[in-house]
Amino acid sequence: MKLLKFDTKKMLPFVLASGFIADTTSLPLIVSNLVNIVSADYFGIGFIRYALHMIVPDLFSFGASLLMLRLFFQKGIPAHYNPSDLPESRQAIVHVGMFRTSWVILVP
Protein backbone atom coordinates (compact mmCIF):
# COMPACT_ATOMS: atom_id res chain seq x y z
CA MET A 1 0.00 0.00 0.00
CA LYS A 2 2.97 2.26 0.56
CA LEU A 3 4.11 1.52 -2.99
CA LEU A 4 0.69 2.61 -4.23
CA LYS A 5 1.21 5.87 -2.30
CA PHE A 6 -1.80 5.44 -0.01
CA ASP A 7 -1.78 7.66 3.04
CA THR A 8 -2.42 6.21 6.50
CA LYS A 9 -6.14 6.98 6.35
CA LYS A 10 -6.49 4.96 3.13
CA MET A 11 -4.37 2.08 4.49
CA LEU A 12 -6.48 1.54 7.61
CA PRO A 13 -9.45 -0.18 5.90
CA PHE A 14 -7.14 -2.68 4.23
CA VAL A 15 -5.19 -3.44 7.39
CA LEU A 16 -8.35 -3.94 9.46
CA ALA A 17 -10.02 -5.97 6.72
CA SER A 18 -7.00 -8.28 6.55
CA GLY A 19 -7.25 -8.95 10.28
CA PHE A 20 -11.03 -9.43 10.33
CA ILE A 21 -11.08 -11.66 7.26
CA ALA A 22 -8.17 -13.77 8.52
CA ASP A 23 -9.99 -14.25 11.82
CA THR A 24 -13.34 -14.95 10.16
CA THR A 25 -12.08 -17.45 7.61
CA SER A 26 -10.26 -19.48 10.26
CA LEU A 27 -13.65 -20.47 11.70
CA PRO A 28 -13.71 -23.99 10.15
CA LEU A 29 -10.35 -24.87 11.69
CA ILE A 30 -10.38 -26.57 15.07
CA VAL A 31 -7.02 -25.02 15.88
CA SER A 32 -8.22 -21.46 15.22
CA ASN A 33 -9.01 -20.86 18.89
CA LEU A 34 -9.07 -22.61 22.23
CA VAL A 35 -12.87 -22.86 22.42
CA ASN A 36 -12.92 -24.82 19.15
CA ILE A 37 -10.22 -27.17 20.41
CA VAL A 38 -11.97 -27.83 23.74
CA SER A 39 -15.43 -28.20 22.15
CA ALA A 40 -14.26 -30.56 19.43
CA ASP A 41 -12.34 -32.65 21.94
CA TYR A 42 -15.25 -32.80 24.39
CA PHE A 43 -17.69 -33.94 21.68
CA GLY A 44 -15.17 -36.17 19.91
CA ILE A 45 -15.33 -34.29 16.61
CA GLY A 46 -12.45 -34.80 14.18
CA PHE A 47 -10.74 -32.11 12.11
CA ILE A 48 -12.47 -32.90 8.78
CA ARG A 49 -15.91 -33.36 10.30
CA TYR A 50 -15.57 -30.08 12.20
CA ALA A 51 -14.47 -28.24 9.05
CA LEU A 52 -17.34 -29.69 7.01
CA HIS A 53 -19.89 -28.56 9.58
CA MET A 54 -18.38 -25.11 9.94
CA ILE A 55 -17.88 -24.23 6.26
CA VAL A 56 -21.41 -22.83 5.77
CA PRO A 57 -21.33 -20.63 8.90
CA ASP A 58 -17.86 -19.54 7.79
CA LEU A 59 -19.15 -18.44 4.37
CA PHE A 60 -21.97 -16.43 5.97
CA SER A 61 -19.54 -14.91 8.46
CA PHE A 62 -17.14 -14.03 5.65
CA GLY A 63 -19.92 -12.37 3.66
CA ALA A 64 -21.19 -10.44 6.68
CA SER A 65 -17.66 -9.27 7.50
CA LEU A 66 -17.09 -8.08 3.94
CA LEU A 67 -20.41 -6.25 3.91
CA MET A 68 -19.85 -4.51 7.25
CA LEU A 69 -16.27 -3.56 6.42
CA ARG A 70 -17.40 -2.17 3.07
CA LEU A 71 -20.22 -0.15 4.66
CA PHE A 72 -18.03 1.16 7.48
CA PHE A 73 -14.97 2.03 5.37
CA GLN A 74 -16.61 2.90 2.06
CA LYS A 75 -15.39 6.50 2.06
CA GLY A 76 -11.82 5.53 3.00
CA ILE A 77 -11.32 3.03 0.17
CA PRO A 78 -9.71 4.65 -2.87
CA ALA A 79 -11.70 4.22 -6.08
CA HIS A 80 -8.60 4.14 -8.26
CA TYR A 81 -4.89 3.48 -7.98
CA ASN A 82 -2.02 3.49 -10.43
CA PRO A 83 -0.69 -0.06 -11.02
CA SER A 84 2.41 1.36 -12.67
CA ASP A 85 3.53 2.48 -9.19
CA LEU A 86 4.10 -1.18 -8.31
CA PRO A 87 7.43 -2.84 -9.10
CA GLU A 88 7.57 -5.96 -11.24
CA SER A 89 6.43 -9.10 -9.43
CA ARG A 90 9.93 -10.61 -9.67
CA GLN A 91 11.21 -7.83 -7.43
CA ALA A 92 8.68 -8.71 -4.73
CA ILE A 93 10.29 -12.13 -4.17
CA VAL A 94 13.15 -11.47 -1.78
CA HIS A 95 14.15 -15.10 -1.04
CA VAL A 96 13.87 -17.11 -4.26
CA GLY A 97 14.84 -20.39 -2.55
CA MET A 98 12.11 -20.00 0.08
CA PHE A 99 9.59 -19.09 -2.62
CA ARG A 100 10.35 -22.25 -4.60
CA THR A 101 10.34 -24.42 -1.47
CA SER A 102 6.93 -23.11 -0.45
CA TRP A 103 5.48 -24.14 -3.81
CA VAL A 104 6.94 -27.64 -3.46
CA ILE A 105 5.39 -27.94 0.01
CA LEU A 106 2.01 -26.33 -0.72
CA VAL A 107 1.30 -27.85 -4.14
CA PRO A 108 1.45 -31.65 -3.87
Q: How confident is the model at residue 92 (pLDDT cuts 50, 70, 90)?
A: confident
Mean pLDDT of the 11-39 span: 89
The verdict on pTM exceeding 0.75 is no
- The answer to the question of residue 2 being in a domain is no
Q: Which domain holds residue 47?
A: 8-106
- The answer to the question of residue 3 being in a domain is no
- The answer to the question of residue 97 being in a domain is yes
Cβ atoms within 10 Å of 30's Cβ, excluding its own: 19
- The answer to the question of residue 1 being in a domain is no
Number of domains into which the chain is organized? 1
CA angle 96–91–88, rounded 5-degree value: 135
pLDDT value at residue 49: 94
Q: How far is CA 38 from the centre of its chain?
A: 24
pLDDT value at residue 93: 85
- The answer to the question of residue 98 being in a domain is yes
